[in-house]
A and B are shown apart, each in its own frame.
Chain A
Amino acid sequence: MPNSRTSRSPAQWERYSSTERLLRFSLLLLLIIAVLYSAKSVEIIPEFLLDAPEQIRDLLVRMWPISYGFYPEGVHDPLMDTIHIATMGTILSILLAVPVGILSAQNLVRNSLLNGFARLILVSTRSVNSLIWALLFVAIFGPGALAGTLAIAFRSIGFVGKLIGEALEEVDPRSVEALQAAGASWMSVLLKAYWPQLEPTFWSVALFRWDINIRESSVLGLVGAGGIGMALDTALNLFQWTRVSLILLSIFVIVVIAEIIVTQIRKRII
């Protein structure tokens, strides 16, 4: 807790100084104003909201029964594609993110201009949503899994690079200095001093991101970037609701399986 410890002991104990109280109060005020203003100006059509429960019930009724028979012909292949897009995207993003992460670590690269540049790359890649990345890559490479894989890879650079950069900055400098004192080259220092300390973080970040990417890659097809999303888009456009429910169920299953795999590997290795 942030207590202001003054040298004079005050007559009465107060948890926060007056500036802190003022800041907290203005924060609360700002929050209330923002929420009220948004609630007032955002366009909401009350009629739509009123019959929402009925619409949702209607949707669920039309989704039933799930047409399992469609799985072998129309869902299995795109579902496997989705898993490959996520995996390849994660591998590619690690290849791209490691150099950027190294550039962003202030103890490794002592150049604030390069650090700042690397941070800018990390923030921008994270800020652009994977669906928007997919739109960009579909425009460049045409529809298909290549665009999806690149979208996943670019979106993940920010996440992977940021966490690797932070882990590098926390590396214990003693082993680094020992190697440098022995005259080791920059590359050996990286491999023998930084890597062993980075390794656990590296694997847990890679696994965590893969888990997220399975989720993300399931929707890329909506903008034409391959995978199960394309099947979902077709089924939605043709109002084949029983197929929609099958696709949603299969996405749910692979997301759950991915999460189980990641937790099991984490428990065993890290």
Chain B
Amino acid sequence: MTVAWLALVAYMIFAGLRLDFTWDRFIIGLDNAERFLGRMFPPAILQPDSMAKGLLESLEIAILASFFGVLLSLPLGVLAARNLMPAWVSWPARTTIALCRSFHPVIVAILFVKAVGFGAIAGILTLIVASMGFIGKLFAEAIEEISLKQVEAVRASGAPFMSVLTYGVFPQVFSRFVGFATYQIDSNLRNSTMVGIVGAGGIGATLFAAFQRFDYNFVCAILIAIILMIMIGESLARWVRRILGVDVSKSDA
């Protein structure tokens, strides 16, 4: 146990030296922080039009990306479930999911901005990719955990594949799917406020511009607005889960 602690401390010293964390920089930083916070408060909405437009666009990006992302991840998750599909179907689907997941949305956003130009469409495409990766993976895992008894029963009655899905598979995983989807809406809302930093639309562009103009009081106002919007989104998601009777399980946190 002591060895582990020593190793941890040694690592922290090594990494700290390598990353050039010095006490001087920290002290200078604290000095800057004081000035910085002084300029942030009181928050001021310097450009109400640009802020309102940015927030609305972020919201629209999140809604559209969630809608199409959830829609696309449904078949993708089914295709990737190894207990329903043969290997030659599930492997391509699993690879697609892994590719969607492995890059941070910002990198995907940069590539989409290069491909489709600046604006909301790049943001929407980015978050669709992110949603497919996240929901697709968890949904496929959920399907792989279902009980096959019901599936076999439906199959034995001569049902075609679609009916097997609707009567044998989906009832078992529906509530978890809703859980993942509402979580992803939350996550898309958070990310839609950020993709603007690289030019993919939404409030991020306004925020980044305010930063570059050193309008820190406007930055503060935007940050408060973002936090409020996300808190409202979280309570909405909780409300939706309650209406649909989905258990708010800790594992979806």
Which of A100-108, A180-188, A191-199, A247-255 forms contacts with chain B?
A: A247-255
- In the bound complex, what is the Cα–Cα distance between A166 and B248 (angstroms)? 13
- Taken together as a complex, chains A and B put the C-alpha atoms of A88 and B8 apart, in Å, by 10
How many B residues face the partner with a CB closer than 8 A?
63
Contact residues in A for B120 (Cβ distance below 8 Å): 42-44
Whether the pair A45, B117 counts as a contact (CB closer than 8 A) is: yes
Chain A residues, Cβ within 8 Å of B124: 42
Whether A85 sits at the interface, judged by CB under 8 Å, is yes
Which residue, of A31, A42, A84, A226, has the highest number of chain B Cβ atoms within 10 A? A42
Give the docked Cα–Cα distance between A222 and B226 (Å).
Answer: 21
Residues of A within 8 A of B47 (CB): none
Q: List 9 A-B contacts (CB under 8 A).
A: A27-B243, A87-B15, A91-B8, A131-B197, A139-B32, A144-B20, A146-B19, A218-B107, A248-B103
| Contacts A146-B19, A248-B107; A44 near B121 (Cβ below 8 A) | yes
Specify which chain B residues have a CB less than 8 angstroms from the CB of A88 in the assembled complex: 12, 15-16, 19
Instruction: Tell whether B231 is near chain A: CB-to-CB under 8 Å.
Output: yes
Stretch from A65-73, A122-130, A262-270 that touches the partner: A122-130
- The CA of A135 and the CA of B19, in the complex, are separated in Å by 18
Chain B residues in 8 Å Cβ range of A141: 25-26, 28-29, 32
Of the listed stretches A5-13, A33-41, A110-118, name the one at the interface; the rest are far from the partner chain.
A33-41
The listed residue (B19, B32, B243) touching A140 by CB distance below 8 A is B32
Q: Please determine whether A84 and B226 come into contact, CB atoms closer than 8 angstroms.
A: no
Task: Report chain A residues within 8 Å CB of B107.
Answer: 218-219, 232, 248, 251
Closest Cβ of chain B to A5, distance in Å, is 13
Q: Apart from A81-B18, A146-B29, list 20 A-B contacts with CB within 8 A.
A: A2-B245, A34-B63, A43-B120, A45-B117, A45-B121, A81-B19, A91-B12, A123-B227, A128-B227, A129-B193, A129-B194, A131-B197, A135-B207, A145-B21, A146-B19, A146-B20, A149-B19, A162-B253, A216-B104, A222-B197
Is there contact, CB below 8 Å, between B227 and A135?
no
Chain A residues within 8 Å of B201, by CB: 43
Residues of B within 8 A of A85 (CB): 19
Binds A, one of B53-61, B140-148, B158-166: B53-61
B227: chain A residues within 8 A (beta carbon): 123-124, 127-128
Residue of B nearest to A169 (CB): B250
Give Cα A136 to B194, complex, Å: 13
Q: If the complex has contacts A48-B117, A55-B115, are A127 and B243 also in contact, measured as CB distance less than 8 A?
A: no
**Contact residues in B for A126 (Cβ distance below 8 Å):** 190
In the complex, whether A190 has a CB less than 8 A from a CB of chain B is no
Distance (Å) between the CB of A129 and the closest chain B CB? 4
**A39 CA to B64 CA in the complex, in Å?**
7
Docked pose: A88 CA to B104 CA in angstroms: 19
Q: Let me know if B226 and A223 touch, CB within 8 A.
A: no
Asked if A236 CB lies within 8 Å of chain B CBs, one says yes
- Asked whether, in the complex, the Cβ of B243 is within 8 Å of the Cβ of A128, the reply is no
Asked whether A215 is an interface residue with its Cβ less than 8 Å from the other chain, the reply is: yes
Indicate if B36 sits at the interface (CB-CB under 8 A). yes
CA distance A251 to B197 in the complex (A): 20
Question: For residues 195 through 253 of chain B, which have their beta carbon under 8 Å from a beta carbon of chain A?
Answer: 197-198, 201, 204, 207-208, 211, 216, 223, 226-227, 230-231, 234, 240, 243-245, 250, 253
Asked whether, in the complex, the Cβ of B103 is within 8 Å of the Cβ of A127, the reply is: no
A52 sits at the interface (CB 8 A): yes
Tell whether, in the assembled complex, residue B116 and residue A49 are in contact, meaning their CB atoms are under 8 Å apart. Answer: yes
In the assembled complex, B41 has its CB within 8 A of some CB on chain A: no
CA distance A31 to B119 in the complex (A): 24
Q: In the bound complex, do residue B230 and residue A127 qualify as a contact, i.e. CB atoms below 8 Å apart?
A: yes
- CB of A1 closer than 8 Å to a CB of B: yes
Residue-wise interface mask of B (130-144) relative to A, using a CB-CB cutoff of 8 A (1 in contact, 0 not): 000000000000000
